[in-house]
Each structure stands twice: as structure tokens, then as C-alpha cells.
Amino acid sequence: MSVLARLFIRVYSRTLNLYPPKFRAEFTEEMQVVFRDSLEEALNGGMLVVVLLCLREFGGLPFNIFKEFWHELQGKELIMLHENTSGSPATTGQVVMGALPFLAFGIVMIMLELAPTLGGALLWLWLLLPAIGFGIGWVQGFPRWSYPYVGMALILAFYIQNASTPGLNFFGIPVFGRELWGWRSWVPLAVAFVIALVISRSLKPFVSFFINLWKDWSIPSYFMAGALPWLVSGALIEIDRLYYFMVTLAILLVGMVILYLRSQSTWQRVLVLTVGVIAILFPAALGSNSYWLAHHGTFSTNAEMFVQAGKVALVMLLPAWLELFRRSLGRLRRA
Amino acid sequence: MKTQPTSPLTEATFLILLSLSPAPKHGYAIMKEVKALSKGRVVFSTGTLYGAIRRLLEQGWLKRATDPKPNPTDRERKAYALTEKGRRVVNAETERLRSLLATAEERTSESPV
């Protein structure tokens, strides 16, 4: 075999490494053998045949590689869509993804207190995190872990739309000053949506988002739990020594998410959400109210604040409790 | 039992299945057979062939088999064969094409008014 032929074979073998790992493990050995056979036959036909063969093999390579990556992505999406509908506990990776925004929330709040410059930079990253989570969630067909990201992203966009953020700087540069954010608050979510749509090339995740919500009513509650960091920071943001509260509440948030995602049955999920929401919401509301009462005495009474926190908790937890009721009713009917 | 493919097969898929209809073959033999069946019109690159084989394996229309032909080189060759499901698909597609052709012939043989 000529030097040129050996070179072609070596280059072809190297390019096969660009295929996705699963495909590579299954087929590249065979492909090398087939390419070698084709090349040997082409060499007998002359240089022109060899050139045509190489054009065909190397020219089609980028498209074929892309096609195989695309195929694997679609396959994963289908598997994940299937997993979404099952009640099986989340994998470690899914738990990490689910806990990330809540953990990051705690870290950002602590850093804002201890190292404001670094905290400010991290705050920007954290503000983008819900949109990123939404995008990944879309591509993966909205697995359970992704719902609080969507809740967070929507609340952030709605809230900031009618707000100005004087004093909020991006690496020292003031952002919009006293001007309202308006439509610009939706930009991160819109960008994430467009990227996710280009990757998934499908509106199916939009449908599966609602199907999952309907199949398990603890998911709407979990979705609303995405608002908890905002509520907690809104209640405590102006209190001195903020980070002590934040550390405790961030630990509770992360714990709630991990336990919720690792739960194996509906009643476990509902219990985790109920305990978590109550343990986070009431101390945050009553703690901040007590502080203001002690220092200024101008806020609502603790009893009034208790009722307000109770209303928010009721809205958040009602779907989960109804899910428990629905399941129990179904079980009774079957019996 | 007859199996109707959910949609008409692509020419490439049909030719691969057809090439395996008489007996199992390895990748290079499939390429050559497809070229011969299409009278040189369809020539696969290796990547295209194995991409198609992968999908056909996943669909359960092909399975791995032992290469029936003796191997003149020391290179390891894996062969592929039609499954029962794959054979039903080929037969159904052949039937569909036959019926389409009959209709076309019938219509084109009518003299225009």
C-alpha cells in the first residue's frame, strides 16, 4: 500500500474521533475496515477514482457527524421526556442542577455582604441563571428539576420590568440608572428561548411543560418555590447582618430541593414542600417584621404578617395538597 | 402478517434493506450491492452507510449476524441481516411500489381525450 493510501487511512481514522462517543464505540472500527476496502479498490481504478472516493468520504463527514450528534440529542430528549412522566427520583446530576440556583442564591447574598464587588459580579451571573436553566430545561423536555428556574425567570422578568435599579452596576458601570427596565427585563429569557428552540428544533417541550404540570400537581408548587429566594431577599434585604439569615435560609432551600427531587412518592414530595415552604417563608416574614417593629415600630403586627405569609404559603402549597387528595381519591376508587 | 411502513421508505433505506434480502452482508458488501442495485446512481460514503445502519438497528429492522462469506483478509468484519420485522417492511414497501407503478401504468396508457 502506498504512502498516500496509508496517509488517507490515518487521516480518516483520526476524523472518526469527531463522532459522538456512543457511535464511535459501536461503528468506527468497522468504518475503518470499509474505508480501507474502498480505498484498495479505488487504487486499482486509478488516481481519479481515489480522488472521487476521498471527496465523497471527507466531504460528507461534517454532515454525517452533525447528524449523529443530532440523533443522540434527540434520543436523549426522548428518554428524558419519558423520565419526566415517571415518578422515579432524580439522578445526582439532576439534583445538582435543581439545587444550583438556590445554593448560588445563598452564596451571592453572603458575598454581597462580605465582598460587595465580587458579590455584585456574582449577582449578575445569578440573575442570568434562571434563563440559562430555562433554556437547558427546554432542550431536555422540562425535567422536574427545571421548574423553579422557569418560576424564577418569569418572576424576575415581571418584577424588574416595572422597576429601576439605581446603584446596580455592571463592573462599575451603572445599568439604566433610574430608568425602568421595561421590555429589557425579558431579553435573557427571550435569548435563552431562541437558543433552546434552535437546538431542540421543536415546540414539543412547550407542550410537555404543561403535561408534566398536569400529571403531577406537586410540580406547580415546586415551580412556585422558585419565587422563594426573591421573597426571602425582599423580606431581609435591608436588615443588617443579613447573611446569617441568608445562610440558614439558603441551607433550608437547598435541603428542600434535594429532598424533593430525591423523593420516591407523592406524599414524600408534598411533605417536603410543605415543611420547606413553611420553614422558609414564616421565619423570613416574621423575622424581618420583628426587626422593623423593634427598630421603627411602623410595620404590620406580627399577627398580620403571619396571616400574609400564610396566604402566600397556601397559594404555593395548594396544588401539592390537591395532588395528594387526587391520588388518595384515585386509590379509594380503585379499591 | 403484513407490516405497512408508517411512511414511504427513503430510497437509501429501501436499497439497504433490499441488498440484505437474500443473505446477510458486511458493510462493504452492502455498499457495493446498493451501487449495483441502483445501477451506480446511489453510492454511499462510509459515514452515511453506518448512520443508516445504526437507525435500522435501532428500529429493529436489522440485526448483527455472522458473515456467511469467508474472510480473505485478517480484518474483522461484522455482518448485518434483516430481522423478521425488516423483511415485512421490505415486502410491504415492494407491494406499495408495485401498486403505485400499476396505477401509473394504467393511467399513462389511457389515451388523452
Q: Residue A169's beta-bridge partner residues?
A: A174
CA distance linking residue A225 with residue A262, whole number of Å: 16
In this prediction, residue A308 carries a pLDDT of 87
Task: Judge contact between B67 and B77, C-beta under 8 A.
Answer: yes
With an 8 Å Cβ cutoff, are B77 and A33 in contact?
Answer: yes
A266 closest CA partner among A323, A224, A213, A184: A323
Does residue A5 contact residue A41 with C-beta atoms inside 8 Å?
no
Cβ contact (<8 Å) for A64 and B54?
A: no
Instruction: Flag whether pLDDT at B1 surpasses 80.
Output: no
pLDDT of residue A150: 92
Mean pLDDT by 10 residues, chain A (335 residues): 83 90 90 91 87 87 83 56 50 86 86 80 84 91 91 88 75 72 88 89 84 89 90 73 74 92 87 92 83 75 86 93 86 74
The pLDDT assigned to A77 comes to 42
A-chain CB neighbours of B43 within 8 Å are 56
- CA separation for the pair A146, A9 (Å, rounded): 45
Nearest to B54 among A23, A37, A57 (CB): A23
B44: closest CA of chain A, how far (Å): 8
Cross-chain Cβ contact A71/B55 below 8 Å: yes
Q: Residue A1: what pLDDT?
A: 65
**Minimal-distance CA residue of chain A relative to B48:** A64
Give chain A's contact residues with B (Cβ, < 8 Å). 23, 26-27, 29-31, 33-38, 56-57, 59-61, 64-65, 67-68, 71
Measured distance CA(A52)–CA(A330) in Å, rounded: 66
Instruction: Compute how many other C-beta atoms are within 10 angstroms of the C-beta atom of residue A131.
Output: 25
Nearest to A30 among B45, B50, B55 (CB): B50
- Residues A136, A142, A146: CA angle, nearest 5 degrees: 65
Helices (H) and strands (E) in chain B, counts: 4, 3
Q: Which residues of B touch A (CB under 8 A)?
A: 26-28, 31, 43, 45-51, 53-55, 75-78
Q: Is residue A255 within 8 Å of A303, Cβ to Cβ?
A: no
CB contact under 8 A, A64 and B47: yes
Closest CB to B78: pick one of A30, A38, A60: A30
Q: Could you give the CA distance from residue A292 to residue A323 in angstroms, rounded to a whole number?
A: 38
Asked if A30 and B49 come within 8 Å (Cβ–Cβ), the reply is: no
Task: Report helix angle B46-59 to A61-85, nearest 10.
Answer: 20
* Cβ neighbours of B76 in A, within 8 Å: 29, 33
Locate the chain A residue with the closest alpha carbon to B78.
A30
State the cell numbers at B19: 441488498
Mutate to test the interface with B, among A1, A37, A65, A70 (most CBs of B within 10 A): A37
User: Lowest-pLDDT range, A65-69, B7-11, B92-96?
Assistant: B7-11
Pairwise CB contact (< 8 Å): A38 & B51: no
Report chain B's mean pLDDT, rounded to a whole number.
Answer: 85
Residues of chain A contacting residue B49, judged by C-beta atoms under 8 Å apart: 34
Q: B46 and A23 in contact by Cβ < 8 A?
A: no
- Going by C-alpha positions, the residue among A72, A50, A52, A63 that lies closest to residue A5 is A50
Q: In terms of C-beta distances under 8 Å and separation of at least 24 residues, what long-range contacts does A187-190 make, across chains too?
A: A188/A127, A188/A128, A188/A130, A188/A131, A188/A153, A188/A157, A189/A130, A189/A131, A189/A134, A189/A153, A189/A154, A189/A157
How many CB atoms are located within 10 Å of the residue A126 CB? Answer: 21
Say yes or no for a CB contact (<8 Å) between A30 and B27: yes
pLDDT at B76: 65
A vs B: CB pairs below 8 A: 57
Coil, strand, or helix at residue B81? strand
Q: Say if residue B110 is exposed, middle or buried (CB neighbours under 10 Å; 0-12, 13-18, 19+).
A: exposed
Interface contact flag, A31 B31, Cβ < 8 Å: no
Does the beta-carbon distance from B54 to A27 stay under 8 Å? yes
Distance from C-alpha of A69 to C-alpha of A62, rounded to nearest angstrom: 11
> Lowest-confidence range among A242-246, B3-7, B77-81?
B3-7
Q: A64: which chain B residues are within 8 Å (Cβ-Cβ)?
A: 45, 47-48, 51
Mutation target among A8, A24, A27, A29 for the B interface, most CBs of B within 10 A: A27
Q: Give the pLDDT confidence score for residue A49 in this predicted structure.
A: 87
